[in-house]
């Protein structure tokens, strides 16, 4: 079969105007302030704090380093257990392991793909110190139930909000829930700084701790009293972020139109399930996942392969899931009988191309390829 020439990827980053970028780079070169919390970095940090409705916000050079520091903030004993989800990017459990802790995988909800709060308590042991939830595809975890469980069992709550930029619940910023929330500003995200990340936290006493952790544990010119790392965002990344902030509303508007088109199209296709966004949720428009039901004429993998054959690159996101990785598959919590929902979803989910510059003609072609049974 002849492939279409144009390649369509799962996402495409927003790009700031080159003239405005060059202008700020010239200002940066003139100032010779390139990193170490420079003026552009600080301006971006303040703007993101306000946009995300955060009490405290700290910028990082990437989301993984930010999550490492979030976990390090509490200095749990080595070997502590962190209850988390297998339905996430590798950085989530890896950050747990890099801190010397043990990830304990909890199954997910079939409708939101987030950690199933009804199954968390049965996993708590004397070694459990925290719950690390993930707001998957921008759909929030059951934050109120998780908060209730955490208070009852004296646990910390950390959220991986990499997919949840600007997600809100009843007008409240998603980062205000739990003890600390991590955001990713990687170029695949709705908002990006090429690479980047950040932490939101409510406890004012953590401000200096987190500042130190992202700067080698340096608290002043002569004081180094924590084991930190280099999590600082440089001025060049901050320039991209500052300019991209002006493009977010337009990008979200375009993605909403695309989502509405996809939603309407799939409403006429049987046995393709689309997650519903609750009315009280302000959505991040990060990904567009579909679930291929058993009664659909073809499998998820067949759809994926046929799209790929036509140069349309969807993504089996997340497949394999974290519990299947070689480094985690021997954990007791990784056993398939402990994760029935996640093990079912991993073979049926597919994230379709989803970004503002994706035209509706291409989106319609994607729909027709999925629905054309002649190809299977």
Q: Which pLDDT score, from 0 to 100, does residue 374 have?
A: 54
Q: Are 132 and 158 in contact (CB under 8 A)?
A: yes
pLDDT of residue 244: 98
Q: 55-92 burial string, b = 16+ CB within 10 Å, else e?
A: ebbbbbbbbbbbbbbbbbbbebeeebbbbbbbbbbebb
Query: Domains, the chain, ranges and CATH?
Result: 18-246 (3.40.640.10), 248-375 (3.90.1150.10)
Measure the CA–CA gap between 159 and 181, rounded to whole angstroms. 5
Measure CA 361 to chain center.
Answer: 28
Q: Give pLDDT, residue 225.
A: 85
- The closest alpha carbon to 77, from 100, 93, 94, 104, belongs to 100
Pairing of strands 272-273, 288-292: antiparallel
pLDDT of residue 6: 87
Residue 184: CB atoms within 10 A of its CB come to 28
d(CA 87, CA 40): 35
In this prediction, the residues of the chain whose per-residue pLDDT falls under 70 are 1-5, 373-376
Kindly provide the b/e burial profile for residues 189-213, where b requires at least 16 CB atoms within 10 angstroms of the residue's own CB: bbbbbbbbbbbbbeeeebeebbbbb
Dump pLDDT digits (tens) for 303-344: 999 999 999 999 999 999 999 999 999 999 999 999 999 999
pLDDT of residue 376: 46
Say what the pLDDT of residue 1 is. Answer: 46
Q: What is the pLDDT of residue 8?
A: 98
């Amino acid at each position: 079969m002849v492939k279409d020439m144009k390649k369509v990827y799962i996402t495409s980053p927003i790009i700031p105007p080159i003239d405005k970028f060059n202008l700020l780079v010239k200002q940066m070169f003139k100032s010779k302030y390139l990193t170490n919390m420079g003026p552009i970095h600080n301006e971006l940090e303040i703007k993101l704090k306000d946009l995300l409705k955060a009490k405290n916000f700290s910028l990082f050079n990437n989301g993984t380093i930010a999550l490492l520091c979030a976990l390090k903030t509490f200095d749990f004993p080595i070997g502590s257990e962190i209850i988390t989800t297998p339905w996430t990017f590798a950085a989530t459990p890896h950050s747990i392991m890099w801190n010397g802790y043990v990830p304990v995988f909890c199954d997910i909800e079939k409708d939101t793909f987030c950690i199933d709060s009804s199954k968390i308590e049965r996993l708590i042991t004397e070694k459990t110190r925290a719950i690390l939830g993930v707001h998957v595809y921008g759909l929030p975890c059951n934050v109120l139930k998780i908060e209730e469980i955490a208070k009852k069992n004296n646990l910390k709550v950390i959220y991986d909000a990499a997919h949840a930029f600007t997600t809100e619940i009843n007008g409240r910023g998603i980062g205000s829930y739990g003890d600390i929330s991590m955001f990713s500003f990687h170029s695949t995200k709705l908002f990006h700084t090429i690479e980047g990340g950040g932490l939101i936290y409510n406890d004012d006493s953590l401000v200096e701790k987190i500042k130190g952790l992202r700067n080698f544990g340096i608290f002043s010119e002569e004081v180094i009293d924590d084991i930190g790392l280099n999590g600082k965002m440089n001025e060049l990344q901050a320039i991209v972020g500052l300019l991209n902030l002006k493009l977010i509303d337009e990008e979200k508007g375009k993605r909403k139109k695309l989502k509405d088109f996809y939603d309407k199209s799939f409403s006429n296709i049987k046995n393709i399930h689309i997650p519903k966004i609750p009315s009280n949720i302000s959505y991040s428009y990060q990904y567009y996942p579909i679930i291929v039901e058993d009664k659909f004429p073809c499998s998820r993998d067949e759809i994926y392969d046929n799209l790929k054959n036509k140069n349309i690159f969807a993504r089996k996101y997340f497949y394999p899931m974290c519990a299947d990785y070689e480094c985690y598959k021997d954990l007791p919590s990784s056993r398939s009988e402990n994760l029935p929902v996640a093990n079912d979803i991993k073979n049926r989910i597919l994230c379709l191309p989803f970004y503002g510059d994706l035209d509706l003609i291409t989106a319609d072609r994607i729909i027709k390829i999925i629905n054309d049974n002649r190809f299977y």
